[in-house]
Amino acid sequence: MALSADPLWPRAGDWPAPDGRGDAAILGLPAFRTSLSPTGAHATPAAVREALRRFSPTLLGPPPVDLNEALRIADAGDVADPDGPEGEARVRERVRGLRAASGLVIAVGGDNSVTYATAQGAGVSGLITLDAHFDLRDGVSNGSPVRRLVEDGLDPRRIVQIGIADFANSVAYAERAADLGITVITLDEVRRRGAEDVMIQALSIAGTAGDVHLDIDVDVCDRSVAPGCPASVPGGLEAWELRALVRAAAGDRRVVSADVVEVDATADAADGRTVRLAALCVLELLAGRALA
């Protein structure tokens, strides 16, 4: 369905290709081949771009702020075939180049496997995950990026995992996180403390030694708002809670890269609510940066 046109109501999205130095760059990473569950996540970057145009780029303030005017935002297109060793090498190279010219690189997945190469390409020394799961599995999959980053040299004491949920993990992986020295802030703790307090702690830990990558796994949310995430369950974060966490993180300039992952656009509800939430996460990243 065609969107209405109103010259006084600009839309998000439709950002130009990178041209020199910018504030933020969007990069599609349609990875899906190593997912532990069947997924059509390769269709999601395009779906998120379409969903972005349903939203205004305006923060109400006061005073109101138009993100399209406050920030130099670019869309760098997609990395073709980002799965596997060769695909991950392409992701690293692309992110590295964008990072050299942009204050914030936003990768739109795709499954959670893209966190590994994106964080490496950004050259970060800290990691914050918004995720119901530890992602410390053995092997190479969307359930292993955190373990792979640690094995490749990321200091686990600079990793904070927010939203880890009951009945979504195992004793073995909980013990692995503890043994590594990863800071874990459970879903229940987020609810008790609130987004702002939790993110202040996370940034103080992950950002101690420098730049930080933010992994936004949308399956941390309640299934009612994220039915297009294969692993989302009833009782997860509300959409507003995830958005608050994302904006709080992006307000710190040590966060230089982020990914929005684990949304399967082909399995979403008829109203596209999960894809729209992913698009709002992109906008919250931009909002946090504009207000920083």
Delimit the domains of the chain by residue range: 22-291
Cβ-contact 119, 206 below 8 angstroms: no
- Nearest C-alpha neighbor of 254 from the set 211, 221, 222: 211
Report H helices in the chain.
44-52, 67-70, 84-101, 114-122, 145-151, 171-180, 187-193, 195-206, 239-250, 273-291
pTM confidence score: 0.97
pLDDT, position 96: 99
Question: What local confidence, expressed as pLDDT, does residue 4 receive?
Answer: 79
> What is the predicted pLDDT for the residue at 102?
97
Q: Which residues of the chain have pLDDT under 70?
A: 1-2
Dist CA 252 CA 206 (whole Å): 12
State the Cα–Cα distance between residues 104 and 261, nearest whole angstrom.
Answer: 17
What confidence tens digit (pLDDT) does each residue in 214-248 have? 999 999 999 999 999 999 999 999 999 999 999 99
- CATH class belonging to 22-291: alpha beta
Provide, rounded to the nearest whole percent, the portion of the chain with pLDDT above 70. Answer: 99
Q: At 265, list the tokens.
A: 């656009």
Query: Which pLDDT does position 2 carry in this prediction?
Result: 67
**Cα distances (Å, whole numbers) of residue 12 to 62, 142, 145, 236, 263:** 19, 29, 30, 28, 20
Least Cα distance to 255 among 220, 219, 210 occurs for 210
pLDDT at residue 242 in the model:
99
SS3 237: strand
